[in-house]
Structure 1
Amino acid sequence: MQKMNKKELQTALNERNGWQVWWRLLRPHTLTASFIPVFVGTMIAAIDGSFHVGLFVAMLLASILIQAATNMFNEYYDYVRGLDNEQSIGIGGAIVRDGIPPKKVLGLAIAFFLVSMLLGVYISASTSWWIALIGLISMGVGYLYTGGPLPIAYTPLGELVSGFFMGPVIIGISYFIQAGFVHEDVWWISIPVGIFIGAILLANNIRDRVGDAENGRKTLAILFGHKGAVLFLGFLFGLAYLLTGLYILLGILPIWSLIVVLSMKKARDAVHVFSTQHNNPLQMLPAMKYTAQTNTFYGFLLGISLLLQYLIPFTI
């Protein structure tokens, strides 16, 4: 890809100044990866007759803050390690293009962690102090994702770790704080959600594959190559939808959950764009967007289907 100066790149990426600089720092289109699991876990609990508004709001805010902080740690450590520069095509850029001081980004991430800890104290005091331990582990993983001597994001385990902690773990906690226990169906339902969240990271790594390889990363996209990684992304999408259909047949999910098929077009669009673009990160950005939208639409529709089952019970 031909190099652009900073202003040209900001124009190509539709990056604006002012408050939008700080908004981009949060990487807002990825934050649904923390909203969706809390929403789904809470809706499953509601079907089972347990719903506490205060705990739902606290869990939602804590999850969003932890993810936003993780995004900021990513921004900071990629800059410190020299992986980000003005030519980097990605959802970051607050430091290298917008000029936010690196220490301010790091300080804001720590502040978000501290606020999420206060919310965790409220949740734990209202439910169980085991939640505090799980929350601390999750924050530690959030930091080590791009911090520490061997960042998780630089290894083939990034998709698995992010999918597990932001899928089954968050859904399990969200259900537990409402109901006081977690039954087997909750874990089954959490698997497709975790797959879609892991797919967001895989899409990011497909886009950054060439640059990441030059900087010594060993992500799945690098190990599989572009074509193999796109095929694997398509496999993950198909697996998540297949599991959803199976759960409906088994009665784990209600018949209302068939509405999640409306999200399939975004998954197909993501695979199509990645399949036709190989070496241009800028032209692969729409595929990133479609992947994130697949997670958002699937999770939102799944949560809506559970809410419909709560309001209008339907059995075959």
Structure 2
Amino acid sequence: MFLQSIKGVVTLIRIVPVLSWSFCAIILSVGFAVHDLKGFGSLSWPVVGILLTGSLLLQGIVAHAFNDRTDWQSGTDRHSPGILSGGSKVIPKGLYSDRQLLLVGTLGLIAAAGLGFYLSRVTSNLVWIFIAIGMWSAIAYTTGPLKLAYYPLAGEWLAAFPAMAACSLGTYYVLTGSISISIVWASVIHSLLCTAWLMQHHLSDIDSDLQASPRKLTTPAYVAMRWGKKYTPHVAAAYFLLAAFVSIMATLGVHRIFIFSLVCSLLGALAAWNTNPRNIGNITFNQIKMIAVTIVHTLILFGFEVITY
């Protein structure tokens, strides 16, 4: 039973989205903090470890547990043909029941709150602003009564994007005690890149989402219902192009390093435009390219900040 629970947690976490979302947000902010504090020695590495653990709890366990539970109950995960989508599949694998997922998510939330309490003691009570946003996003994304992911635009703008922005900005604030203009721009771009490939992620589940009860109207599902499935890749492309626009503004107004953000954004948009929304393999292949672009973007900015301090 214990080994099954451990296997369930590992399966639930889904390290790829956690790595490219939360972990990359933290790594990005660590790079900017190293630059602004003039060296790695000025950082509190135990605090960095706590930040990584907290993000793993909120995204990998809390958000995924609640998401899997809701999507299984609505039926969308039962019929998803996706390769990377369709949840962690801990329920059909018999690792957790939907009731156990509620318990796992709740325990993860309590553990994250405990880490938040520690961070507030060693830094400032202001960190609760960022922690509260992360908790809100993990809960409200698919948990009732809001179920933000079940409504077009709401899931990304009221949960996903704020969570990523809070993760990167909160990390920088905890490490430096302030917020810089550069990390704000970097955070917005990273959050948009993550949101863009989330839209790509939804493409595989459009049919099952529209058949779910209640119907899961993600933004791509809404576009498919209103205008047809052939237009659904435009959603991810639009977010990548928005990231490209922000990158141009950051390049002109902050630093030329953000030209690499522009390149990464355009590469993501190209992958979206080349997507066949009726081919699961093609959707997945282009999603992997988008994930790679997001990770590479983080590493470029991190590397530049570190080598120029």
TM-score by length of 1: 0.80
Partner of 2:148: 152
Indicate whether 1:70 and 2:63 are aligned: yes
Looking at structure 1, the residues matched to 183 and 5 of structure 2 have their Cα atoms a distance apart, in angstroms, of 42
Looking at structure 2, the residues matched to 210 and 48 of structure 1 have their Cα atoms a distance apart, in angstroms, of 48
Looking at structure 2, the residues matched to 222 and 80 of structure 1 have their Cα atoms a distance apart, in angstroms, of 18
Q: Cα distance, 1:70 vs. partner?
A: 0.3
Question: Aligned pair in 2 of structure 1 residues 229, 308: CA closer, same or farther (>3 Å)?
Answer: farther
Looking at structure 1, the residues matched to 95 and 269 of structure 2 have their Cα atoms a distance apart, in angstroms, of 36
Q: Cα distance, 1:247 vs. partner?
A: 2.2
Which residue of the other structure, out of 73, 80, 92, is the alignment partner of 1:80? Answer: 73
Partner of 1:233: 236
Looking at structure 1, the residues matched to 263 and 186 of structure 2 have their Cα atoms a distance apart, in angstroms, of 18
Indicate whether 1:248 and 2:251 are aligned: yes
Contact 2:151–2:217, Cα closer than 8 Å, also in 1: yes
Indicate whether 1:100 and 2:101 are aligned: no
Looking at structure 1, the residues matched to 31 and 47 of structure 2 have their Cα atoms a distance apart, in angstroms, of 13
Partner of 1:180: 177
Question: Aligned pair in 2 of structure 1 residues 57, 101: CA closer, same or farther (>3 Å)?
Answer: closer
Partner of 1:304: 303
Looking at structure 2, the residues matched to 302 and 110 of structure 1 have their Cα atoms a distance apart, in angstroms, of 35
Question: Aligned pair in 2 of structure 1 residues 270, 108: CA closer, same or farther (>3 Å)?
Answer: farther
Q: Deviations over 1:102-130 (max 9, x none)?
A: 23333322222222222212211011112
Identity %: 20
Contact 2:130–2:167, Cα closer than 8 Å, also in 1: no
Question: Aligned pair in 2 of structure 1 residues 141, 87: CA closer, same or farther (>3 Å)?
Answer: closer
Q: Deviations over 1:171-228 (max 9, x none)?
A: 2211111221223333222211110111132112222122212222222112323343
Give the secondary-structure state (helix, strand or coil) at the position aligned to 1:31: helix
Looking at structure 2, the residues matched to 94 and 218 of structure 1 have their Cα atoms a distance apart, in angstroms, of 21
Indicate whether 1:206 and 2:203 are aligned: yes
Give the secondary-structure state (helix, strand or coil) at the position aligned to 2:43: coil
Q: Which runs of 4+ in 1 moved over 6 A?
A: 17-21
Which residue of the other structure, out of 42, 45, 49, is the alignment partner of 1:53? Answer: 45
Unaligned runs of at least 5 residues, structure 1: 1-16, 311-316
Question: Aligned pair in 2 of structure 1 residues 265, 235: CA closer, same or farther (>3 Å)?
Answer: closer
Contact 2:244–2:266, Cα closer than 8 Å, also in 1: no
Looking at structure 2, the residues matched to 242 and 140 of structure 1 have their Cα atoms a distance apart, in angstroms, of 28
Letter in 2 for 1:298: H
Contact 1:76–1:106, Cα closer than 8 Å, also in 2: yes
TM-score by length of 2: 0.82
Partner of 1:128: 124
Contact 1:195–1:240, Cα closer than 8 Å, also in 2: yes
Q: Cα distance, 1:263 vs. partner?
A: 4.5
Contact 2:137–2:160, Cα closer than 8 Å, also in 1: no
Matches within 5 A, 1:261-300: 263=264, 267=268, 270-274=271-275, 277-281=276-280, 283-300=282-299
Which residue of the other structure, out of 114, 128, 132, is the alignment partner of 1:118? Answer: 114
Letter in 1 for 2:165: P
Partner of 2:164: 167
Looking at structure 2, the residues matched to 123 and 175 of structure 1 have their Cα atoms a distance apart, in angstroms, of 13
Q: Deviations over 1:269-289 (max 9, x none)?
A: 632552xx2334355222332
Q: Deviations over 1:75-115 (max 9, x none)?
A: 11111223221654225252343122223333322222222
Looking at structure 2, the residues matched to 167 and 253 of structure 1 have their Cα atoms a distance apart, in angstroms, of 22
Q: Cα distance, 1:145 vs. partner?
A: 0.8
Contact 1:162–1:198, Cα closer than 8 Å, also in 2: no
Contact 2:76–2:205, Cα closer than 8 Å, also in 1: no
Which residue of the other structure, out of 134, 137, 149, is the alignment partner of 1:138? Answer: 134
Question: Aligned pair in 2 of structure 1 residues 125, 295: CA closer, same or farther (>3 Å)?
Answer: same
Question: Aligned pair in 2 of structure 1 residues 136, 166: CA closer, same or farther (>3 Å)?
Answer: closer
Contact 2:200–2:272, Cα closer than 8 Å, also in 1: no
Looking at structure 2, the residues matched to 134 and 261 of structure 1 have their Cα atoms a distance apart, in angstroms, of 27
Contact 1:202–1:221, Cα closer than 8 Å, also in 2: yes
Question: Aligned pair in 2 of structure 1 residues 98, 282: CA closer, same or farther (>3 Å)?
Answer: farther
Letter in 2 for 1:36: C
Q: Cα distance, 1:30 vs. partner?
A: 0.3
Indicate whether 1:24 and 2:11 are aligned: yes
Unaligned runs of at least 5 residues, structure 2: none
